[in-house]
Amino acid sequence: MKDFSHSTGFLTGGASGIGLAMARELGSRGMRVMLADIEAGALAGAEKTLRDEGIDAHGIVLDVGDPEAYARAAEQTLAAFGKVNFLFNNAGVGTLSPAGQTPVRDWQWVVNVNLLGVAYGVELFLPGMQALDEPCHIMNTASLAGHVANAGFGPYNATKFGVVGYSECLRMELAESNVGVSVLCPAWIKTRIAHSHRNHPDAGRANDGTAGMNPLAELIEAEGLPVETLIGRAVDAMADGTFHVFTHADFWPMVEERLDRVREDYGKVR
């Protein structure tokens, strides 16, 4: 997908960070955007900001981990827009805690948002995209954590590896279709991801700094790339058909080390 004029997009996690930056970029290129987000206040602010910039922006409050609510949001969006060309499965949350000390509710929360939210989006919007005689694109936000594991990131790594694997399936299934597929795999980007516990469904956990990725906030602030750098690469990738959108060249040795371990262990098969 290269030309965004007369196109429409549904972007989850659209009220802030990567989702908002993508809406701004594609909206400024002519896409009519529906921002879907669980944070009503941030959503209203984002919608107004984009409209003030001349973008045809709309907002819908949605928990992507709630399949019934997601179905209603998709229905409303298709009724209002008539079509969706671009699906940005981007809403995501993270936790940081060791195995054996990770509450079941944290697991459920991260899986619901990061993995099932992506699947719901595809199931709800893909048939309409395939019925269109126009270029369409599904972009899933995984992470470098979908290729490399880190101690303490159990639910985050499990779901992001899942999003990479699922995106590979989609790429194969849609190879000959009008729907392109790509997967974002950034390392640190300057957003509020370290404070994602603010959206935890349990009020107690939402107000508990240990429920999210708080310890990473300073690192992300110090070493994170500006969100615009990622968006520039992602939009180029959509145009030239690149599947993985990576950002941080200096993390390649970690990916390679993992691939080497797979190769070494596979070599033991007799």
Give least dist CB 3 to ligand NAD, A.
25
Nearer to ligand NAD (CB atom), residue 31 or residue 115: 115
Q: Contacts with ligand NAD in 45-74 (CB under 6 A)?
A: 62-65
Encoding tokens for residue 129? 């995209």
Q: Cβ–Cβ contacts within 10 Å for residue 135, how many?
A: 17
Q: How far is the CB of 239 from ligand NAD (least distance, A)?
A: 21
Q: In terms of DSSP H, where are the helices of the chain?
A: 17-28, 40-52, 67-81, 104-110, 117-130, 154-173, 203-206, 217-223, 227-240, 252-266
Considering the complex, state which of residue 32 and residue 248 has its C-beta at the smaller distance from ligand NAD. 248
Residue span binding ligand NAD (CB under 6 A) among the ranges 24-32, 91-99, 235-243, 254-262: 91-99
Annotation marks residue 120 as catalytic: no
Helix (H) or strand (E) holding 139: strand 136-141
Query: Between residues 166 and 188, which has the closer beta carbon with respect to ligand NAD?
Result: 188
The amino acid that residue 65 corresponds to is G
- Size of site (CB under 6 A) for ligand NAD: 33
DSSP secondary structure of 181-218: EEEEE-S-BSSSGGGGGGG-SSHHHHT-GGGTTGGGHH
Bridge partners (DSSP) listed for residue 35: 11, 59
- Nearer Cβ to ligand NAD, position 59 or 180? 59
In the set 1, 11, 18, 129, which binds ligand NAD (CB under 6 A)? Answer: 18
Residue 17, CA atoms < 13 Å, CB-side half-sphere: 25
Task: Identify any residues that bridge with 36 across adjacent strands, giving them in sequence order.
Answer: 12, 60
Among 19, 59, 180, 212, binds ligand NAD (CB under 6 A): 19
**Which residue is at the shortest CB distance from ligand NAD?**
92
**What's 225's DSSP letter?**
B
Give, as ranges, the residues between 163 and 222 that touch ligand NAD (CB under 6 A): 186, 188-189, 191-193, 196, 199, 220
Residue written as token pair 């671009």: 86
Chain residues 113-172 in contact with ligand NAD, contact rule CB under 6 A: 113, 141, 143
Catalytic residue among 70, 120, 156, 166: 156
User: Contact region for ligand NAD (CB under 6 A) — 88-96, 147-155, 202-210, 235-243?
Assistant: 88-96
Gyration radius (Cα) of the chain, Å: 18
| Residues annotated catalytic, as ranges | 156
Which residues here bind ligand NAD, judged by CB under 6 A? 12-13, 15-19, 37-39, 42, 62-65, 90-94, 113, 141, 143, 186, 188-189, 191-193, 196, 199, 220, 224
